[in-house]
Chains A and B, each alone.
Chain A
Amino acid sequence: MNPAGSIWNTLREIVDPELGCNIVDLGLIRSMTQSGTTVRVEMTLTSPGCPLGSALESAVESALLGLPGVEAVEVRLVFEPPWSIAEVSPAARAQLGIPVAMPSAGSATTLTRSAAS
């Protein structure tokens, strides 16, 4: 079993090459669960037709398979609810220049992530 914190930190090393922010702070990882040596990740994209989708999906698989104790990775792309600004962390907001007045995080998925990390 791998500590959840190290899995989240590994995911944080994956940076969206266009936006320059990591995919966790961008709110693209909806949830992560681990059972035995299998890690299941639910992720989304900033828009359903995002051309980087396949690369990011593959990056998550590759990065997690590099962790000790992880034998299988299951990545599921979800678009409901659609990605929104509410899922972006304060650090990524500052990097993207998103105004503070925009709605802030508070959804169940974000809580899952916070609790896990």
Chain B
Amino acid sequence: MAKCKHRHPPEAPRITAANAPSATVPLRFITAGILALVLAGGWLVAKPELLTRYHYGPDAVAFAHLVLLGFAASVVMGVLYQFTPVALDARLHSERIARWQWWLHLAGVAGMVWMFRRWDMWQVGQFGLVFGLGVALFAWNMARTLAHVPRWTPVAFGVASSVGWLLVTVLAGLFLACTKLWPWLSPFAPLAQMHAHAHLGVLGSFILLTVAVSYRLVPMFLISSVQDERRAWWSLILLNLGTGAAAVTIALESRWKLAALLIVLAGLALHAIELHAILRTRMRAMIDCGMQSFLTGIALLAPAAGSALALCWEGLLPAAAVARAENVYAVLGIFGVLWFVLIGMLGKILPFFVWFHRYSGDIGRTKVPQLAEMYSARLQEIGRWSHLAGVVCGVAAAATDSMPLATAAAGLLAVTIAAFTFNAARIFSHLRHPASQTGEPPLAGIPLSP
């Protein structure tokens, strides 16, 4: 692995992480995700009743797709295009396919959200097909990349399963759209199949991926290692089994959904134990704000799982309380777990992507900024606390059907989005206005420390 270089290379080379695609591939998806998040924040401020109103209606379904596909799926796809080749040591199969997919993704998501608002299921299906074609390209690209992974680790298995569940979720969504047009197609109750579709996406695709990447990213950022690989494997196997079982039992409105949930909980419990072990053996004492947000999102899985348990346990909740409990569950899942995990991880990953794109060729030649100097940690902290307060208010609003609380929650979440977006803009500004001191002499000319 030795490399020999001779003196005076002409100019700063463009370095990429081993196997990484061009930074423009992940960054275009992440930018789209951030724009969707800003739109979602504005929408929530304009209509805070989204937090309390029953979720089976045009606005709520459109909003959910903006958040889950526009924000979450965009960010996840962007991160996976970088993470899979770099962390799993396999070159991305095709950047060109990824670029084509981006256009299909944008058109599909924008059209679906718009048509859900109009409740035009024919058009939802059309745009869903465009989005689905993009997901098929994504899955193909990932599958071809994963086929060259040198060692099949829990992380690789988790990424592969998550992509698989995403594909299943899209197929289930397209089937749902068809059943709106031709109801005789479906043997399932409309609400039940919608809930099954949502669980396939959130649990199978998003939470499973969060668990998988946490086994790589948490040790990497905190300088630690997975303590028990068998435990990591089992957590992912159980989550896969639990996702399949949950989708089937929810669609069939079977009382066995409690058993499915218990399988999921067992997987999450193993993940929590492993994560605790990783944190306990970490060498880096300080946990920065981005990582704290990521871990907060994972911790919020506990109350989300508690509300799922209450909803699954037949007869535990009075019928009148079920709709509110479902809203609490959704608020915890979307604004709690999902937003915290994604905003936290973006806080770590986004500076890294931009730094690599802009400064990797300058390091060793001139002074370059550190990752922590590319954003405001104070703003990140403000965003984290307003986020936590927003989730608490949102849960209280959903539980009590209170509009004042819903308005407060929307305002607090908007502060979080503003803080995050401002920081993201500051990070992106390095692409146009780099902070490396190119006018300085090379490092070797800098006065040396004693």
Contacts and interface: CB of A to CB of B under 8 A. Distances in A.
Given A55-B17, A102-B283, A18 B4 contact: no
A65 B3 contact: no
Interface in A67-96: 67-68, 70-78, 85, 88, 96
Nearest to A37: B7
A99 interface: yes
A74 B286 CA distance: 35
B369 to A, nearest CB: 7
B5 A50 contact: no
B365 A63 contact: yes
Interface in B213-262: 216, 219-221, 223, 225
Contact of B7 (A47, A55, A60, A70): A70
A14 B368 CA distance: 9
B319 interface: no
Interface residues of B, number: 49
Is chain A's interface secondary structure helix, strand, loop, or mixed overall? mixed
A97 B283 CA distance: 8
A70 B7 CA distance: 7
B364 A61 contact: yes
Interface string B278-298: 000001111000000000000
A11 to B, nearest CB: 9
Contact of A58 (B283, B286, B361): B361
Given A74-B3, A98-B284, A55 B15 contact: yes
Contacts of B225: 47
B17 A54 contact: yes
A6 B449 CA distance: 9
A51 B86 contact: yes
A9 B219 contact: no
A6 B444 CA distance: 9
A113 interface: no
A96 B369 contact: no
B134 to A, nearest CB: 26
Contact of A96 (B285, B363, B445): B285
Contact of B5 (A53, A68, A73): A73
B120 interface: no
Interface stretch (B66-74, B100-108, B352-360): B352-360
B369 A17 contact: yes
B443 interface: yes
25 contacts: A6-B448, A14-B443, A17-B359, A18-B221, A49-B86, A51-B17, A51-B18, A55-B360, A58-B360, A58-B363, A58-B364, A62-B443, A65-B7, A65-B8, A67-B444, A71-B6, A71-B7, A74-B5, A78-B1, A85-B283, A96-B284, A96-B285, A96-B286, A98-B284, A98-B285
Interface of A: 6, 9-10, 12-15, 17-20, 38, 40, 46-47, 49-68, 70-78, 85, 88, 96-99, 102
